[in-house]
Structure 1
Amino acid sequence: MHASDRIRKVEAVVIAHKEYGEADRFVRIFTLQYGKLNTLAKGVRKMQSRKAAHLEPFTHAALVLAHGQTFWIITQAETVSAFPAIREDLDKTTDASYIMELVDKISTEGQAEPALFRLALESLKRINDNNDTYNIMRYFELRFLDIAGFRPELQHCVACKKEIQPEDQYFSPLQGGILCPQCGQMDNKAIAANQDTLRYLRHFQRSNYKSIENIQVPPKVRITLQRILGAYLASVLEWQLKTPAFQKQIRDETNRSA
C-alpha cells in the first residue's frame, strides 16, 4: 500500500459503536467515498478525548482515517451535523435507527454507494427538521428499495402481468408488487390494498422529497402503507428489524385511527 493510500479523508455518518478495551471504541461508519467501514477510535472513552462527541450514532462527520494492521484508525473527527433534534426525541431516534439499520444491512464493506449515502443523509436531515416524519420514512423505504434493486411493481399484476385497473387490489410481499383481485385471492400472504393505498404508493415511488413533504395521508392508508412496505422489506432482506421503529409506528397510527 502506497503511503498516500494509508490516509483517508472521508465524509461519514456513524452507524453504531461498541466499547473495546478500557478506553477505545469500535465505530462502524458509512462513508460517501468507501461505503461501510469498521474503524477503531483509540482513547475515545477517556475524559479528555476530543473525538468522542463527534462519533455518536447518526452524526454526520468529516473524518481522517489511518490504515492500521486490522482496522482503519480514526485520527481526526469533526462534526458536520449532530442532528440534535434526533437525539432529543425518542420517536426521531427510532426512525434514525431504522434507517441506519437498513443501510447497515444492505451495504458492503469498502464498497462506495453514493446514492444510498445521499439518501440516508438527506433522510436524517429531514427527520431532524420535521415533527411529522411519516412521509419521510415511506419515501426513504421506497427509494431504498429502488437502490437495493427491489423496486416494487405497481403498474401491472406481478402474477398474470395484466395492467392494473382502477379498483381495489392486493400487494404481495413475496412476489414484489401489486396483484389483481383474481390473483390476489390465490396468495395467502397478500395484503389488501384499496385504490387510495395504491395511489399513494405510486405517488411516493415517483416523487422527490420536496413533492411529498406536505401530503396528508389518511390514517387508514398510513397503516396499510406501513404494513405493505414493512412486510416487503422483511421479505426481500430476509430479516426482522432489531429497532422498534416499524412496530412502534404501527401502534401509534392504530391508536390515532381508533
Structure 2
Amino acid sequence: MAVMNLAQERVLKVEAVVLEHQEWGEADRLLTLFTREYGRMRAIAKGVRRIRSRKAGHLEPFTRVALVLARGRDLWIITQAETLEANLALHGDLEGIGYASYVAELLERLTYEEGPNPNLYRLLVDTLRRLDENLDPPALILRYFELHILDLAGFRPELTECVTCRRLIQPEDQYFSSSLGGVLCPTCGKVEPSARPVSMNALRYLRHLQRSTYPEARRARPNPAITTEMERILRDYLTYILEARLNSPEFIRQVRQNLSTTESSSRPPEENASATISDTVIDL
C-alpha cells in the first residue's frame, strides 16, 4: 500500500537507516536510505556539508533517524532529521566501519528502491546495533545477517535436504553448490561439477543460524576453522547470486592485515620469532 501511494505524496515522515552518502553539488549530499515504511530510497540533504549545518550530525552512515522528506523535482529533499540511534562506536573503529559497510552494501545489492520490507528493516537495525555493542563475535553477527537477509530476499539456501535427489541430509560431510542453491548428499555431490565439499559441523552451524532467533543463535561458538568455512560458503553463494564480488570484504581484509602487521611489529623480538615458528608448524 505504501508503494502505491508514494507517488501521490508531497511530504513523508519516515524512520530510516542511512546506508551511505556521496557529495552532491557544492554543499549537498545524496543519501541512500533504507526506510521502515518504503524500503530503499534516495534523498538530498541540502547544505549539509556547510560547517554550520544542523542536520549533518544526524545523517552519518549507519545512523537510525527520523526524517521529514519533501518531494523535489527529481529526488526527495530532507527537511528535518533527528537521530534515534547513533551507533557511535562503529564510526571510531576501522573494522567496525568495514563490517557495517558490508551490511549496508549487501542490503543495497539485494533490494530494490521503494519496496517496503519491515522485517528486513528490523534485521538491519538489530545487526548494526549488535555490531555497535560488540558483545558477540562479528563473524556470528554477520553470518546470522547473511542467512536471514537471503531468506527475506527470496534466496534462502537449502540446507536440510539434497537439492538434487531430495533426500534428507544425514550427519556426515556433504557438498554445497551455489548454482543449485544448496546442499547435496555425497552421492549427488561427487558427480556435480559445481559442488564443493562442506563439513558436517559447518553445515550444522549454518542450519542452526538459519532456523534460530538471534538469542538462540548466539549460543553457537564454532571454532575458527568452522567459522572460516562458513564465511567461504556464504561468500561464494552471495557472489553467485549477485554476479559480482562485494567491495567491503576487501576493505575488511586490508584492515585486518594492517592490524596484524602493527601488532606483530609491537611485540618483543623473542615473541615475534616464536610466533613465526609456531605459525609455520601449523601451516605444515
Interval of TM-score (by shorter of Structure 1 and Structure 2): over 0.9
Please state how far the C-alpha of 1:247 moved relative to its aligned partner.
6.5
- Return the match for 1:33 from 34, 37, 54: 37
Please state how far the C-alpha of 1:54 moved relative to its aligned partner.
0.8
Task: Give me the whole-angstrom Cα distance separating, in 2, the residues matched to 1:78 and 1:148.
Answer: 29
On the 8 A contact 2:95/2:252 being kept in 1, the answer is no
Partner of 2:264: none
Ranges in structure 2 where 5+ consecutive residues have no aligned partner: 261-278
Question: More deviation in 55-64 or 236-245?
Answer: 236-245
Ranges in structure 1 where 5+ consecutive residues have no aligned partner: none
Task: Give me the whole-angstrom Cα distance separating, in 1, the residues matched to 2:209 and 2:219.
Answer: 12
On the 8 A contact 1:35/1:109 being kept in 2, the answer is yes
The C-alpha deviation readout for 1:163-191, integer Å capped at 9, x for no partner, is 21221101111111111112112233322
On the 8 A contact 1:230/1:246 being kept in 2, the answer is no
Please state how far the C-alpha of 1:102 moved relative to its aligned partner.
1.2
Please state how far the C-alpha of 1:245 moved relative to its aligned partner.
5.9
TM, length-normalised to structure 2: 0.84
Partner of 1:223: 228
Larger Rg: 2
Please state how far the C-alpha of 1:160 moved relative to its aligned partner.
1.7
User: Amino acid of the residue matched to residue 56 of structure 2?
Assistant: A
Partner of 2:145: 140
SS at match of 1:236: helix
Partner of 2:117: 113
Please state how far the C-alpha of 1:161 moved relative to its aligned partner.
1.6
Partner of 1:193: 198
- Return the match for 1:166 from 164, 171, 174: 171
SS at match of 1:26: strand
Q: Is 1:12 paired with 2:13?
A: no
Task: Give me the whole-angstrom Cα distance separating, in 2, the residues matched to 1:215 and 1:185.
Answer: 30
User: Amino acid of the residue matched to residue 217 of structure 1?
Assistant: P
SS at match of 2:180: coil
Partner of 2:242: 237
User: Amino acid of the residue matched to residue 213 of structure 2?
Assistant: N
Partner of 1:55: 59
User: Amino acid of the residue matched to residue 56 of structure 1?
Assistant: E
- Return the match for 1:122 from 126, 145, 151: 126
TM, length-normalised to structure 1: 0.92
User: Amino acid of the residue matched to residue 55 of structure 1?
Assistant: L
Task: Give me the whole-angstrom Cα distance separating, in 1, the residues matched to 2:161 and 2:114.
Answer: 37
Aligned-residue identity in percent = 48
On the 8 A contact 1:173/1:235 being kept in 2, the answer is yes
User: Over aligned residue pairs, what C-alpha RMSD do you find?
Assistant: 2.2
Task: Give me the whole-angstrom Cα distance separating, in 2, the residues matched to 1:83 and 1:221.
Answer: 29
On the 8 A contact 2:111/2:153 being kept in 1, the answer is no
